[in-house]
Amino acid sequence: MSKNTTQIKAAVVREKGGPFYIETLTLEAPRRDEVLVRVVATGLCHTDMVARDKGYPVPQPIVLGHEGAGIVESVGADVVKVAPGDSVVLTFLTCGRCRPCRLGRMAHCEKTFPLSFGGARLDGSTATLDGHGEKVHDHFFGQSSFATYALANERNVVKVSGDVPLERLGPLGCGIQTGAGAVMNALNVRPGTSFASFGAGAVGCSAIMAARAVGATTIVAIDIVPSRLEMAKDLGATHAINSKQTNPVEAIRDITGGGVDYSLEASGDPRALHQAIEALGSLGTCGIVGAEPLGTEVSFDVNTLMIQGKGIRGILEGESVPDIFIPQLIELNAQGRFPFEKLTKFYSLDQINQAAQDSEKGGTIKPIIRLSPV
């Protein structure tokens, strides 16, 4: 091991569908704009499983993981935002140069796909070798944080207060800001209104907590897993609908007296998206955050949409500006108004396959993989 590299322990996916193999790898030192982070813990997100299963064309072998939190170990020569010893949450990486980025709407960065799923830097280079000296893809969401160390970019490290325990904060960088930001930034849910989340997983539950935090007074959770519906009620849902047993559109119309002001499709099921549009009342807006298979189409009644002034919009990463939004969520959490710790369960790196299985079966809403003690 030369002083320009770091030996790391990481979860590597080598074939479509998994499993994660725990391996010792070698990671390059940070480039001029990069930040080497000692990862404390990383959330496991649905998108990690999509990449493991090649639902998106992600190259393998690869180190996944995109909800990391940790301590800055070293920085490249051009980095000014953070210094060694700083506590950081890692988030999605954006280019900073395209039109959405220049508008401050970086969640819709035009380079999102290659930066998140390319398995390399934008110039095609990687920084990770396995025990045989073979290339392992990395830079997943600009971090690849299922590892004891991750190479992020200055743009996707969010500095947070050193007083806050880091190990639960990683999911703020993706799943939790996706749900909360959809409500607070994109849909801009108003006090006294009604909101329905189709899906009560990590994203849906985060949206429900946010809807309560901003003062929505009717909050409906729709899911097919009873334990998730219980969790949603605990987090602020005023109504819970099991869509296996009850037609959610009719139920929402009954509850709201005609239709809901805001609906969110957070399940990735095209039938749920159709229902989320149908359940809207006049002037209602449906936000889409659930990832569907590429090429999915969903129909809606054009005249109903037009006459009733309804809207449908796609939302990525909660349309957040992470440097601003993540500290806001941490403060809301500290005040007890955004208790996302209720969603989390910890696993060791060796238990990552179990964590994935528990999450897919619905028993664990947000698994967090511990990489190293603080």
Taking the complex as a whole, the smallest distance from the CB of residue 50 to Zn ion amounts, in Å, to 9
Angle between helices 248-256 and 270-278 in degrees, nearest 10: 30
Other CB atoms within 10 A of residue 185 CB? 20
Nearer to Zn ion, 71 or 98 (CB): 98
- Is 91 a binder of Zn ion (CB under 5 A)? no
Q: Which residues contact 134 (CB under 8 A, 6 or more apart)?
A: none
User: Residue 109 or residue 222: which is nearer to Zn ion going by CB?
Assistant: 109
Instruction: Give the residue among 22, 25, 14 at the shortest CA–CA distance from 59.
Output: 14
Work out whether 29 is an interface residue with Zn ion (CB under 5 A).
Answer: no
Stretch that binds Zn ion, among 77-85, 91-99, 143-151, 255-263 (CB under 5 A): 91-99
Sequence-ordered list of residues with C-beta below 8 angstroms from that of 201, at least 6 positions apart, any chain: 46, 223, 228, 266, 267, 362, 365
CA proximity to 152, closest of 100, 105, 82: 82
Which CB atom, from 118 or from 259, has the smaller least distance to Zn ion? 118
Rule CB under 5 A: say whether 98 interacts with Zn ion: yes
- Whichever of 25 and 45 has its CB closer to Zn ion, that residue is 45
**Which range binds Zn ion by CB under 5 A, 94-102, 196-204, 317-325, 349-357?**
94-102
Helix ranges, the chain (H): 46-52, 99-102, 112-117, 175-181, 202-214, 226-235, 248-256, 270-278, 302-307, 322-334, 352-361
Subset of 156-195 contacting Zn ion (CB under 5 A) = 174
- Which window, 97-105, 147-155, 185-193, 296-304, contacts Zn ion (CB under 5 A)? 97-105
Q: Which residue lies nearer to Zn ion by CB, 70 or 142?
A: 142
* Binding region for Zn ion (CB under 5 A) out of 96-104, 116-124, 234-242, 350-358: 96-104
Smallest separation (angstroms) from Zn ion to the CB of 15: 22
> Of these, 27, 101, 107, 329, which contacts Zn ion (CB under 5 A)?
101
Contact between 95 and Zn ion by CB under 5 A: the answer reads yes
Closest CB to Zn ion among 251 and 352? 352
Q: How far is CA 44 from CA 50, 67, 202, 343, 344, in A?
A: 11, 7, 10, 12, 10
DSSP strand pairing (20-28 vs 5-13): antiparallel
Measure the CA–CA gap between 197 and 206, rounded to whole angstroms: 10
Select 200 or 240, whichever has its Cβ closest to Zn ion.
200
- Binding residues for Zn ion restricted to 258-287, rule: CB under 5 A: none
How many residues bind Zn ion (CB under 5 A)? The answer is 8
- Tokens representing 43 are 């959330």
Q: How large is the C-alpha radius of gyration of the chain?
A: 20
Q: Is the dihedral of CA 113, 311, 266, 278 positive or negative?
A: negative
Q: How far is the CB of 241 from Zn ion (least distance, A)?
A: 25
* Phi, psi (rounded to 5 degrees) for 212: -65, -40
Residue pair 218/237 in contact by the 8 Å Cβ criterion: no
**Should residue 45 be labelled a site residue for Zn ion when binding is judged by CB under 5 A?**
yes
- To Zn ion, the closest distance from the beta carbon of 98 in angstroms equals 3
Choose the binding region for Zn ion from 71-79, 107-115, 121-129, 159-167 (rule: CB under 5 A).
Answer: 107-115
Contact flag: residue 47 with Zn ion (CB under 5 A): yes
Nearer to Zn ion, 261 or 317 (CB): 317
Stretch that binds Zn ion, among 106-114, 144-152, 159-167, 280-288 (CB under 5 A): 106-114
Q: Which is nearer to Zn ion, 45 or 277 (CB)?
A: 45
Beta-carbon contacts of 233 under 8 Å, excluding residues fewer than 6 positions away, are 221, 240
Query: Rule CB under 5 A: which residues touch Zn ion?
Result: 45, 47, 94-95, 98, 101, 109, 174
